[in-house]
Amino acid sequence: MPAGRKGRHRGSLMALLYLSPWLAGFTVFFAYPLIATVYFSFQRYDLFTLEPVGFLNYRYFWQDEAAWTSIRNTLWLVVVMVPLRVLFGLGVAQLVTKLKAGVGFFRTIFYLPSLVPLVAGTLGFVFLLNPGTGPVPTILSALGIPSPDWFGDPSWSKPGLTLLSLWSVGDLMVIFLAALLDVPKQLYEAAALDGAGPWQQFFHVTLPVIRPVLMFATVTGVIQTLQYFTQAMVAARVASGSTDSAGSVFTPGYPDQSTLTFPEWLFQEGFRDFAMGYACVLALILFAVSMVFTLFLLRQFRGLAEEEA
């Protein structure tokens, strides 16, 4: 059918035309830089001189203690913060489904903090938890509960960041709420007929239906947490009282490298110490780890790509 083939050919050209901005963007801002990152990882590069050093940067990684500290911190956030966020988001969403009065009001309030700019929210939390002036230690001590020095204490700084992440759980809540409301009512009725209590209904009806949404949220949560940067950077900066302006040096991770995340260390090495070759090694490690989780997501999406309206 020559006419059909011709039509398809024209369709491809048309597609190419519409896709061209993204194709250019993908090439310039993704494909090329990814290859260049591999290339630079074998160089010593400080913006001025480029010198091939073989596997030196890779070997250096094994003895770079700050890098390993940052990996441990990032892992802590992935293991503690991500599940807590998912559980809390699900709990809040579940609560909203049970409300009879003021649903819109509560949903708005629970969602609102997730819109607060990261820097502003972090500043707010450092202040809220700040010993001496912050309302939280004040209220806690009025109740006779000792309050830790949150962002000034290495063992409490990550829990402090976790509190901040729970406060802004609204985006997850909205996604879970939509999923919960999609669960067919008849399933619950059938389960109730069979004598299932609320918990049994949750585990045998709700959970199986919303499991894909939970999985998706968890995996994207992990990928986002691998990029965790702004909150850690700002909290450390504000709590330590130091600046990053010209003249003074700010090293992320305050207190005592307890908030130093992997992307922060990459940033520090590449754009503050200008060890750009080594930063590329760190970038490739980040790429490899994120890719594992992304591939998982892609498997979920493969079906989606095929769907045709």
Partner 1 sequence: MTVTLTPSPTARKAGPRRRRDHRRRATLQWIATHALAIALAIMFLGPLVFIGLTAVMTDHQALTSQLWPSRWEWSNFADIFVKAPLLTWIVNTLMYSILATVFMLVSSIPVAYALARFRFPGRKLAFLLVITTMMLPPQVVAVPIYLIWARFHLTGTLWPLILPMLLGDAFSIFLLRQFLVTIPREYSDAARVDGCGEFRTLMRVILPMARPAIAAVALFQFFYCWNDYYGPLLYAGTDTSHWTLSLGLASFRAVHRVQWNLTMAATLLAMAPVIVVFFFAQKAFIEGVKLTGVK
- Using CB under 8 A as the binding rule, the residues of this chain from 22 to 81 that contact partner 1 are 22, 24-26, 28-30, 32-34, 36-37, 40, 47
Tokens of 114: 């997730």
Contact partners, residue 234, CB within 8 Å, separation at least 6: 118, 119, 122, 123, 126
Does position 193 interact with partner 1 (CB under 8 A)? The reply is yes
**Phi, psi angle pair for 196, to nearest 5°:** -80, 130
Is 147 near partner 1 (CB under 8 A)? no
**Centroid of chain to Cα 131:** 28
Residue 307 touches partner 1, criterion: CB under 8 A: yes
Pick from 76, 45, 94, 57: nearest CA to 203: 94
- Candidate residues 6, 81, 138, 256; the one interacting with partner 1 per rule CB under 8 A: 138
* Min CB(11)–partner 1 separation in Å: 6
Q: Does 156 sit near partner 1 (CB under 8 A)?
A: no
Scanning 51-59, 61-69, 74-82, 281-289 for contacts with partner 1 by CB under 8 A, the matching segment is 281-289
Q: Does position 203 bind partner 1 by CB under 8 A?
A: no
User: C-beta of 289: minimal distance to partner 1 in Å?
Assistant: 9
**Alpha-carbon gap, residue 19 to 289, rounded angstroms:** 29
Burial of 120 (0-12, 13-18, 19+ CB in 10 A): exposed
- Closer by beta carbon to partner 1, 131 or else 154: 131
Output the smallest distance, CB 158 to partner 1, in A: 19
Whole-angstrom distance, CA of residue 32 vs CA of residue 74: 28
Rule CB under 8 A: which of 207-266 touch partner 1?
212-213, 216-217, 220, 223, 226-227, 229-230, 233-234, 237-238, 241-246, 263, 266
